[in-house]
Structure 1
Amino acid sequence: MEQRPFFDLSYLAHGTQKQQRVFELLTNNYIFEILRPFSPVLTGTIPLDIDTDTSDLDIICCFQESSVFQQLIYENWQTAAGFSVKSYTINKRPTILARFYLDEIPVEIFGQNRPTDQQEAYKHLLIEDHLLKKYGEPFKLQVKELKSKGWKTEPAFAKLLHLEGDPYLALLNMTR
């Protein structure tokens, strides 16, 4: 079976203090158990240890029917603090975005009718992980410094790598 990094959350249990807290939060609240039919993946900054105090949990999912996915979200989290759910279209794909808080940590669940390992957030995660390993701790600290100043992740990477144009596309166009 093909290895798909970040699909198994166990790496969080042995990670940084924040990653361990996130692992406990996701496990104790059965988030990935509930979302299992939708191939959930935690993306964003927390898996890479480049998060800030205000970073959210970015969970991407794949659905076949948006109404089934949206119903599951309502059934499980509509009473959570700050709950909202929106349905819209991105690149001709139906998209569901839910936001809420768990233990004061912001959670964002993003779903599309496309496998999670083909979604941009997952591709960015793999590319950024590769770059952090390639350039080491000094590069990671520079990314974290920019993020602490309010920079979004992809623009921070693009700045440090001197990438031109749209930082999100520039990173996707990099060969790993």
Structure 2
Amino acid sequence: MFLSIDYLKEGNPRQQLAYKAMHALGLLIDLEEYTPVLCGTLPINIDIDNSDLDIIMEVKNFDAFEKSIVALYGCHEGFRIKKTHIRGNPVMKANFLYGGFEFELFGQDVLVTEQYAYLHMIIENTLLRKNPPIREEIIALKKQGYKTEPAFCKVLGLEGDPYEGLIMYGKERGIIT
């Protein structure tokens, strides 16, 4: 469901604005070779006013990726790019402002459907569909400053690393494999 952004066209007003911004930017076409996927809170309707648009991608050649990102988006307000490591894997993040949104482009050498951001979104979406009342609880925690995964773990009563904990929770319940 989330591999295309077409669902945003019929979504809430903020989702529709995100759809328009992403299309106006040409991001999905410009970065097609990296299989860009919108993840995070906006697709599952738990975003708050300052939520960004997280675009995850599979990147094999970080030098080529960096050159593309700088050439395409380096002119946008607030542009910054950073190389780092997450769970021992090299990653590259770029942030910038466009169309009323902060974009975060995230690339790593992992299939998009196996990246934690995507898996977390699948788990969170399943939980929200199975138990709709937790949506308001999650949003309230986010407004208090909680990141999404820690908010879900608090609601679920999970302790420890929320990013790993949510993955384990999803595997134990057969939401992801």
Pairing 1:110–2:106 present: yes
Letter in 2 for 1:40: P
What's the offset of the Cα at 1:74?
A: 0.6
Query: Which ranges in structure 2 are unaligned for 5 or more consecutive residues?
Result: none
What residue in structure 1 maps to residue 81 of structure 2? 85
What residue in structure 1 maps to residue 140 of structure 2? 145
Q: Percent identity between the aligned chains?
A: 37
Between the aligned partners of 2:160 and 2:83, the Cα distance in structure 1 is 29
What's the offset of the Cα at 1:23?
A: 0.3
Could you say what secondary structure the match of 1:46 adopts?
Answer: coil
Could you say what secondary structure the match of 1:28 adopts?
Answer: helix
User: When the two structures are aligned, how many residues end up with a matched partner?
Assistant: 171
Alignment of 1:56-67 (within 5 A): 56-67=52-63
* Matching residue within 148, 152, 156 for 2:151: 156
Q: Give structure 1 regions of 4+ aligned residues with deviation exceeding 3 angstroms.
A: none
Between the aligned partners of 2:103 and 2:116, the Cα distance in structure 1 is 18
Could you say what secondary structure the match of 2:78 adopts?
Answer: strand
Q: What RMSD, in angstroms, separates the aligned Cα atoms of the two structures?
A: 0.9
Could you say what secondary structure the match of 2:158 adopts?
Answer: coil
What's the offset of the Cα at 1:97?
A: 0.5
What's the offset of the Cα at 1:92?
A: 3.1
Letter in 1 for 2:90: P
Could you say what secondary structure the match of 1:82 adopts?
Answer: coil
Q: What TM-score results when the alignment is normalised by the length of structure 2? A: 0.94
What residue in structure 2 maps to residue 168 of structure 1? 163
Deviations 1:73-118, CA, capped at 9 Å, x for gaps: 0110111000000112223322110011002311100000111111
Pairing 1:15–2:11 present: yes
Could you say what secondary structure the match of 1:81 adopts?
Answer: coil
Higher mean C-alpha displacement, 16-25 vs 103-112: 103-112
Deviations 1:129-155, CA, capped at 9 Å, x for gaps: 00000111x111111111111111111
Between the aligned partners of 1:56 and 1:25, the Cα distance in structure 2 is 12
